[in-house]
Each structure stands twice: as structure tokens, then as C-alpha cells.
Chain A
Amino acid sequence: MTRTDLRVVAALGARSVKQTFRRPQLLAPIVVFPSILLAIQTAGAGQAVNLPEFPPVNSFLDFMLAGAMIQATLLAGNSGGIALAVDIEMGFTDRLLAAPISRFGMVLGRLAGTGVLSLLAGIWFIVVGLIFGAQINDGVPGVIVMLLLVTLSGLAFGGIGAAVALRTGRASVVQGLFPLVFVILFLSSAFFPQDLLTGPAATIAQYNPLSFIVEGIRDPVISSLTWEVFGKAIASLALVGAIGIGLSALALRRRLRAGG
């Protein structure tokens, strides 16, 4: 990576963030949709905190914040993949490939954008949470760790989205992953405590990396983040990230050989 490559990644990242703000259809899934679901689920299932097995929390909103954030990063990763596929479909990637920059730079630029959008979504949900009475137990250091994990989630899930985009080159295919995002969410402890999940979901959620990531984001709010939980979250992110970025690199190589 040369200096120019870094500037290119930054410029492409800035482009993808601007793009999202200029097209409401891209912003809606990242911010609006998770916010609506957060509001409805918090009020609809709020009495859950009275269940005897529910971990001690200030309010159900405190518990739900992490779920909303992780949902936002998953959808940001999906949107980033769609945008990359659109770039391929309309030939914008040719512009990048005809320039003397690192081939992977165009993927990294997109990921940088997804990371920033995830960070912004994280800030949004912390602010919304605080306004509606959430209390973050670990204070400012907790907020910093949460934002770090949220940003890394965006990069990791963005990698998966980019891999599908590069492999298929079709926005409609990436868009088709949308329901899958919810399958993954429902099969994790994103919306409810692990011990209270029912059916097969309860078993799957124990092994779902998403559960570990969510708990890393949630614990600074409802209790206190331990090194163990933090380590598991980071390890899960590293796993998802390695898969996403590895598959992206393979798909890009294949695409370049076939001639885009």
C-alpha cells in the first residue's frame, strides 16, 4: 500500500458515504429501519425484563441497543455490497481498474465507507438511546469500545457483501441476501438473552459468531465488559472479516482474470 493507495481508499470511502446520504433508499435500511424496529420491539416486548431469567438491566432499551447497532452494521454491509455490484454493473469499476492503483483498493475503499457508515449508525443509536433514557454502565470508555466493535462489524460484514458483489456482479443477487440478514439476527442473541431463546435457535445462537459480537457491544451498556467477552467479540469479528475479505480477494482475482 503506497501513500497514493491510502488516499484512494479514503477518497472512495468518502464517495460511498456521500452516496448513501444522497440516496434515501440506501440510508433507510441502515438507520431508519433498525430505528423503527428498535422502537417497536422495545415497547412491544419491554415487559420481558420482568421474566425471572432475564439478566438484570436498567431497561429493555439498554438491552436492545446492541441488537439495533448490529442490525445496522449487517444492513450497511449488505448495502455496501449492493452499491459495489451497481458499480460493476454500470462500469464504474473500470474507471478504477484503468487507473494505476492497487486492484484491491476499490474493495478497501468500499469497506472504508461501510466502516464509517457503521460508526455513524453506532453514534446515532447511542445518542437515541441516551435521549430515551438508556444508561451506559461502562461510561465513556464503554462507548469507545462499542463504537470500535460496531465499526469493525461494518468492515467484517461489508467484506461478505463485497465478496458476493464481486463474485456475481449483480446488485439483485446481493439484494436477495436481505432476508438472510434477518435469519442470522434471529439465530443469535441480538434481540433477546441467550438463555431465553427457544427452539433450535437457542442451540444455534450459542455458536453464532454474531452472538459473541453483540455481547461485546451490549455488555458495556448493561453490565461491565470483561476481557473474555471482548476477546470473543474480537475473535468472532476476525473470523467473519477474514472470511469476507478472503472471499473478496478470491472473487476479485477471478473477475480480473475473466476481464470484468
Chain B
Amino acid sequence: MSAHADTHAHDDHGHHHKETFITKYIFSIDHKMIAKQYLITGTIMGIIGVLMSMMFRIQIAWPGEPNVLFEALLGKWAPDGVMDADVYLALVTIHGTIMVFFVLTAGLSGTFSNLLIPLQIGARDMASGFLNMVSYWLFFLSSVIMVSSLFVEAGPAAAGWTIYPPLSALPMAQGGSGLGMTLWLISMAIFIASSLLGSLNYVVTVLNLRTKGMSMTRLPLTIWAFFVTAIIGIVSFPVLFAAALLLIMDRSFGTSFFLSDIFIQGEVLHYQGGSPVLFEHLFWFLGHPEVYIVILPAMGIVSEIMAANSRKPIFGYRAMITSILAIAFLSTIVWGHHMFVSGMNPFLGSVFTFTTLLIAIPSAVKAFNWITTIWKGNIQMNPAMLFSIGFVSTFITGGLTGIILGDSALDINVHDTYFVIAHFHLVMGISAIYGMFAGIYHWYPKMFGRMMNKKLGFIHFWITAVSAYGVFFPMHFIGMAGLPRRYYTNSAFPLFDDLANVNVVITVFALIGGLAQIIYLYNFFVSIFYGEKATQNPWRSTTLEWTTPVKHIHGNWPGEIPHVHRWAYDYSKPGHDVDFVMQNVPLKEGEEELQH
């Protein structure tokens, strides 16, 4: 399996290609450059997404109060500085879409799969550099379309990021369901094409281009996570593509896949025989695996960083792989827990409750294994490690409430309330962002050849960590009090008046947390040019990416690709002088490879 044949094929890539500015920085086929392109694009989209959340949080905390900020940024959509109800819905919709797909799928998976797969398995590049480039540029195109939809006359899509029809299908139901929704659908269709090209490339690369000695059971957990993530993407994204296509047909060509018996604005529409519930099934068939597409790469990154910074092998390597596989498998058969009260057969609800709660088991194994990994370690508190510990913390806090939401009987009363928002933001939003930050701080020297400032990293982490809990912990309580999500203001219900002060607390934390990201942005961009020069293996890590030269070359290794002789986690192994043994170091005389 491990393909060493490719060393010949790629050897000539090493030095003598003259690269122009365009082939090097724009239409690059080098995975390292493409990874950086994904990261920068994802960062810009992230800034937009976070700014939107800060705006709608201000609206929730101080509903209907004029705000110069709104007047300036929203223009005619905020007459006299009072945010319009449709704009509120548009903001939450685009915030969700951007954060889930553009930041946490493309920005996270796109960056680190591209950067690490070839480097950690010992390959010169991706299986197809060209497809990789196409994948990035499709992602870029879809980002541009999504952002341009913000400037449409009737506003961008505003039906929630889940775009349930008929609301999303009928322009007369909502302003955003006109051109804005068309652009949303086109953008997502292109995004899916991009994601599939990327995923196919990752899978093929991991299967075929591993260096000599890199068996599947010697792969770092990052690679396992990216590999399985890519497979989930290939299985589930096409279903969303189909759903989007059918919705486009319903919208533009008069078909009735998701629509039936509709009377709106004084007239009966011709649609008959379709079902919105069908759309929900198709959407969540992707939508649920999607949260694992978001979180698995973060899990892989965190596993790697925790081992390296604890100077200890990851605890239960095999169990970690098994649980990744179990989570991946289960993730495709739990989508119905988003639909307990959708009108589907209650028996199906029972089945989905059962499968959903099963996911808690591999998740618990992972959490305990991480905790055991740091036990009796020699923990190096680098910013990447802080974010990894933060990841485990929010993953546990957010994950635990899943046993309430996954339980159909309990979901009835907290479905679509702020309890759900608190749950999924902690377990896959904040956690995945932490995973991404951890990865950036850790592999920054590999990406840019310089180090990020650690003190700024510490400050960034602590402000973010406190704000994250400040925002989402109290949110559980207003959710349990029955406050529905996606309400432009809660003032129509005196019943919820006693929740108003909680919402102010949440917003204040959200604003602090949002502004704190400037520290990170400063650190990120300034360090590219002025950061301390990195050494080859600053974190004293075992994996192959740290055997490449600091300065990037096309083809990664100047000479032969190193061969692998051991797994990725020989930290503090007895019998060695240093506390890490790199994967390309042959076993000593009489040394046994761990039966992991």
C-alpha cells in the first residue's frame, strides 16, 4: 500500500521550476499554499460571521433601540438605526451558514487537511494538485457569491441556515427568499462541489501516497480524523446537493418536491403532493454528519497537540481510531433527532433517540482518553495546548446536554429554544473554533516559518474562554425557560420579560469575546512578517512534517522522503535520552514497537 513509487515521479518537483507570482500565490497547486489560501479566506469569512453575531446579539439585548452602528452598517435596513425584523433573520441565517460551512468546514478542514495530509504521511503533494487548486477556487467563488448575496435589493437568504421550504421556496413568504435565496443555493452548490473535490483528494492521498513504513496504524490521529471526515463528506454532501437542486427546481421550474397545498397572499399556488418533511430528511442527512465534519478534524488536531504538549503518547490510540470510526458511522444514522416534532412517525423518533444517545459512548471514550493523556504528563502550556484543553472542556460541557436534546421526550419542550443554541455552539461551534485556533498556533511555524507571540496567545485564550462560557452557559437557562430561537425581539411576550437581563449579560460577554479576536488577528498577521523565526521542530514533535525544511519547497523534502519506523506517539519513551522519538528514527537494537 505505502507508495514509494511516487518519489521518482515527483523528484523533479524539488527545485528547478521557475514560479511566477501567479503560479506561486494565486493559482498554486502546492498543498501548503492552498492550505494558507483556505485559512485566509476562512478567516475573512469568520470576521464577517462574528460581526453579524455581534450585531444580532445587540438587537436581542436592547431590542428596538436605535443604534448608530446599525444605521451605519445596515443603511436602509435599519431605518433610524432600528434593525428591521427581516434583517435580523437574514443575519442569523448568514451567520449560521458562514460559520458552519465557510469557516468550520472549509476554513478548518480545508486548511489542515491540505497542510498536514501530505506532510504527515510523507508525500510530495496531494494526489492531484490540480483538483486541489480547483477545489480552493470553487470555495473562493462560493464565498464571493455568498458575500455578494448580502447586497441584494430584497436582502440575503433569511429562512434560517436550514432553509426549510416552503419559507425558502416562496419569494412572497419572505423578502430574502427571492434573489438572495437563489444566490445562497448557487453558492452552496458550488461549495459542495469544492468540498467533494477536496474530500476525494484527501481520501486518495491518504490511501495511496503514504511513505514507506507508514501503515494505517502508524498514522497520526490528525490524519485519521481528516481521512474519516472526508469519507463522511463524500457520503453526505451529495444528498444536500440533491436537496438544493430539487429546491431550485421547486423555486424556478414549478415542480412540487417539497411543496403542497399552499395558500399565500390571497391565492392558492399550484403545488401539490410534495412534502417539506422530505426536505428536512435530505437536509439533515447532510446536516447532522456535517457537525461531525466540523468536529472530527478538531478532535484530530487536539489529540495530536495534547500528546505533543503533554510529552506523553496519546492514551488509547486504537480506541481513539475506533471511536472516530464509530462516531462517523453513527453520525449518518441520527439525523432524525432534528425532526422529533416535524410530524414524522413517532416510532422513527424512538429509533433516532436510540441511535443518537449511542453517540455519547464513543464521545465519552474520547473525552476520558484525552484526560488520561494529560495525566502524569509534563504539560507544556503553549497557546495551542491551552486551546486544546479548552476544547475538551467545552466539548464536555456542550456534549452533555446532548443527552437531553437527543431524548425525544425531552426534546419536545426544548426543541428550537436557546437551549439548543447553547448546546450546539459549545459542542461544535466553540469546540471546533478552539480546535482551529489550536491548530493555527501549533502549525503556524510550519505554515509561515515564524512563531506567533505566546503572550498574546495566552491573553487571547483566556478572554475567549471566559467569554465563551459567559455567553453560552446562562443561555441554557433561558432555553429551559422556553424562549424560542430566531425571535427578533422577545418583547411580544411578557412571559419572557424576566429573561431580558440574562440576554444583556450574554450580549456583553459576546461583545467582549468578539472584540478579543482582534488580539488574535493582530498576532496572526503581524507574526507573518515580524514573528520570531521558527526552528525546524519548535514543539519537539514526532511527526514527519517537522522533518521538512522551515522554508517551503515544492515537493516538501529536498531529498528522499523519510521512511517511517514507528508510530507517531513515542513521547517520553523509556530507553531514550530525549523525550520524543521522531517517526523516521529506526527502532533501536532490541527496542520493541508498542503493540498499539
A, B assembled together: no
By a beta-carbon cutoff of 8 Å, the part of chain B in contact with chain A is none
Q: Which residues of A contact B (CB under 8 A)?
A: none
